[in-house]
């Protein structure tokens, strides 16, 4: 059964706004990544989903393609974002098969709950490698294509078409500090810093680069990993000020906003999508 639109995209967006555009997304088979991809494909884009597992990635691509007649969605498995060469090969294949890369989401991430005393140097490095180095590798592999896309689609232009946009996946832990998440906090802080440099270096080419920082999002692997631990949002916070947990649709809508013509002047910043939850996080 296909996923109803209400689970991945609000009704405010106009069909076809991403027609003839291609999304390249790492971690696109994950819970947040597949909602972001569904939303973009629903609104006209084709997509290339990158992941480590061949089966999971290819199955997600097939499922997501069902959201729109004629959608082309390919899954490229066996790609670890820690390997620049495998990412570069995937980006090249995406352009060969789908024609371009106009939008990129660096969504692949690694996380587990561990105190500093329980983290080996290699454990800390594993998360930095996946999140931070993986985002850098994604930038390196796709930026030449985003520059080409921005040249084809000047920002702004009369047609209201966009391209040449990069979104990384951040978090809010580093705003306050977060016990048991030192590795992720450091990795995501570095990603935010990286986006600033990309914005400055590639803004003159018309490319924008931003982070989206989700809060606690229901139904995700991240939330499952936190649940039943000392970090379980349901037990350790007084609740999100806006009165509910986030949904994958909240993140997909934010991604569509940044990639759309409405996001033309957003560059080098972090869009926090957490209902102001971070303002109550940090101390136990």
| Residue 201 binds to ligand HXC (criterion: CB under 6 A) | no
Q: Given the complex with ligand HXC, which of 95 and 128 has the nearer CB atom?
A: 128
Q: Given the complex with ligand HXC, which of 92 and 224 has the nearer CB atom?
A: 224
| Residue 109 binds to ligand HXC (criterion: CB under 6 A) | yes
First vs last C-alpha separation in the chain: 41
Which parts of the chain fold into alpha helices (H)? 31-42, 54-65, 84-98, 121-127, 134-152, 173-176, 182-202, 221-226, 233-236, 248-259
Q: Enumerate residues 133-172 that contact ligand HXC by CB under 6 A.
A: 171
| Residue 23 binds to ligand HXC (criterion: CB under 6 A) | no
- The residue number with the shortest CB distance to ligand HXC is 110
Helices (H) and strands (E) in the chain, counts: 10, 7
Whether residue 103 contacts residue 259, with contact meaning beta carbons closer than 8 Å, is answered with: yes
Q: Given the complex with ligand HXC, which of 2 and 120 has the nearer CB atom?
A: 120
Task: Give the residue numbers marked as catalytic.
Answer: 170, 188
Q: Given the complex with ligand HXC, which of 130 and 248 has the nearer CB atom?
A: 130
| Residue 216 binds to ligand HXC (criterion: CB under 6 A) | yes
Task: Please tell me the distance from the alpha carbon of residue 276 to that of residue 5, in angstroms, as a whole number.
Answer: 25
Query: Would you give the binding string for ligand HXC spanning residues 224-243, x where CB under 6 A is met?
Result: -xx-----------------
- For 202: left if phi > 0, alpha if psi spans -120 to 50, otherwise beta; the answer is alpha
């Amino acid at each position: 059964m296909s996923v109803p639109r209400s689970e991945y995209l609000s009704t405010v967006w106009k069909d076809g706004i991403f027609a003839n555009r291609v999304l390249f997304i790492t971690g696109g088979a994950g819970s947040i990544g597949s909602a972001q991809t569904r939303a973009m494909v629903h609104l006209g884009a084709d997509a290339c989903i990158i992941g480590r597992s061949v089966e999971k990635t290819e199955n997600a691509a097939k499922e997501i393609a069902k959201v729109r007649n004629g959608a082309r969605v390919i899954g490229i498995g066996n790609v670890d974002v820690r390997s620049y060469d495998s990412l570069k090969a995937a980006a090249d294949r995406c352009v060969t098969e789908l024609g371009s890369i106009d939008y990129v989401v660096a969504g692949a991430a690694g996380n587990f709950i561990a105190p500093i005393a329980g983290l080996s140097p290699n454990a800390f490095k594993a998360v930095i490698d996946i999140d931070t180095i993986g985002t850098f590798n994604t930038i390196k592999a796709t930026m030449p294509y985003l520059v080409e896309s921005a040249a084809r689609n000047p920002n702004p232009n009369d047609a209201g078409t966009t391209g040449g946009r990069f979104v990384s996946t951040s978090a809010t832990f580093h705003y306050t500090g977060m016990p048991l998440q030192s590795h992720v906090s450091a990795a995501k802080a570095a990603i935010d810093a990286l986006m600033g440099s990309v914005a400055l270096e590639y803004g003159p080419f018309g490319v924008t680069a931003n982070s989206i920082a989700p809060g606690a999002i229901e139904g995700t692997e991240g939330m499952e990993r936190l649940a039943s631990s000392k970090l379980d949002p349901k037990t350790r916070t007084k609740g999100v000020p806006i009165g509910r947990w986030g949904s994958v649709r909240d993140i997909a809508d934010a991604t569509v906003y940044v990639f759309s013509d409405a996001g033309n002047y957003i560059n080098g910043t972090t869009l926090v999508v957490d209902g102001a939850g971070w303002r109550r996080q940090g101390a136990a």
